[in-house]
Amino acid sequence: MRHKTVLITGGNAGIGYETAKELLQRGARVIIACRNINKGLQSLTKLHLETKCKQDSIRLMECDLSSFESVRKFAKLYNAKEDRLDVLICNTGLIYSPNIYTKDGLNSIMQTNYLGHFLLTNLLLDKLKQCRSSRIINVSSSAHKYPPTNKGITALVNFKSDAIWGSYGPSKACQILSSYKLKQDLLDHGVDVFTLNPGWIWTSFQDSLHSALGTWLFVIVYPLLIIAKFIFGKTPLTGARTTVYCAVEPSLKDSYILYFENCARAKPSSLCTNSESAEYLWKLSCEAVGL
């Protein structure tokens, strides 16, 4: 990964942090895009201490994926100031938000997890094409399989839904379905597109559930979570392995594989590999983000 530049959204915490750490240790230059600069700076200091990387090997930039204005501002600055983009890792994921809608009038989960990344990717495509062979990696979830397949694309495209808990699965399905189209579109441009399921990461789920349920109810549910943690939970370090694999594995160059679990090819929901649905989603997404 030496002489390569990697951009990671949400690289200041959880599996994003572990991904950034691993790629720094492999010699990459890592740029972390995050919403909270103060928290980002704390993570930057920690990364320097843990990896002993050079000062210019890591950069922090502000980007709030729940705001199209912020994403456009970030992309404009990145394209103007950065020479390379070899790997784009769309890692930021929101399970719960106290705010149903963003200031753009869209569902906060859908915009943060899917539409914000959709806009960011499109605004950085030219930079990725310049650095062929390059890669786009969307960190999805097994929750993408939850939307009912019998409802087709209509189960995914309600970008203004007032549901918070019910929006996570559709947002992750949209990630994979749009990646399916993007992968086909970029076949001749030297840009590989991958999606993946990192597994159930204990820390992110715990924090989100605490915010959603409140302290008292969370205390009641907590013992069940502890049991589930030991059965299903992964640490951020373990959860980051598939992301790192998709970023660095040489054999994946020009690969036709779209979706990975545990560093191996896996099968996504049939809803996420339908060409007609992908075209429709792409059209609606472009309209939603103003492309």
b/e code 120-136 from CB counts within 10 Å (16+ = b) = bbbbbbebbeebeebbb
Q: Which residues does 238 contact at the CB level (< 8 Å), separation at least 6?
A: 199
Whole-Å CA distances, 164 to 101, 130, 174, 178, 288: 9, 38, 16, 21, 19
Catalytic hit among 17, 96, 114, 168: 168
Total residue count of the chain as it appears in this document? 291
Is residue 168 part of the annotated active site? The answer reads yes
Q: How far apart are CA 16 and CA 32, in angstroms?
A: 9
Say which DSSP state 8 is in: E
Q: How far apart are CA 193 and CA 158, in angstroms?
A: 25
Catalytic residues: 168
